[in-house]
């Protein structure tokens, strides 16, 4: 049974920071591309960042220079460090594991407001 435990979401003021974590079980974590997606109200889900099995990273243009994705294969965990948060970063953030099948976490809310 595949499970993801996501944590680290919350409310923060503009310019603040949050760190999201996603710990996976039931999959061979190290062979999966891991990613974070987000979905704001009324918008489509979009890729925020992903990281390959070898540590190569890819970021949405809107978060480059502010967000950092990383993974710890020994802990089956992927992280998203979010700095300089903006109002438009408000969304539900979803953990994703991709190999042959796509797996999704339940989502964690990130709210940026003044």
> Read out DSSP for 35-99?
EEEEE-TTS--EEEEEE-TT--EEE-GGGTTTEEEEEEGGGTEEEEEE-S--GGG-EEEEEEEES
CA-based nearest residue to 7, from 112, 110, 83: 110
Mean pLDDT score across all residues of the chain: 97
Looking at residue 52, its pLDDT comes to: 97
- pLDDT tens-digit map of 54-70: 999 999 999 999 999 99
Looking at residue 97, its pLDDT comes to: 97
Looking at residue 65, its pLDDT comes to: 98
Looking at residue 16, its pLDDT comes to: 98
Q: Can you list the residues of the chain whose pLDDT is less than 50?
A: none
């Amino acid at each position: 049974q595949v499970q993801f435990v996501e944590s680290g979401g919350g409310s923060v003021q503009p310019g603040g920071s949050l760190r999201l974590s996603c710990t996976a079980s039931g999959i061979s974590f190290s062979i999966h591309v891991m990613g974070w997606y987000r979905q704001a109200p009324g918008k489509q889900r979009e890729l925020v960042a992903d990281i390959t099995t070898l540590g190569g990273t890819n970021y949405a243009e809107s978060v480059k220079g502010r967000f950092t994705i990383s993974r710890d294969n020994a802990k089956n965990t992927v992280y998203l460090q979010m700095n300089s948060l903006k109002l438009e970063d408000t969304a539900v953030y979803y953990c994703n594991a991709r190999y042959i099948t796509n797996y999704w976490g339940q989502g964690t809310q990130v709210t940026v407001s003044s």
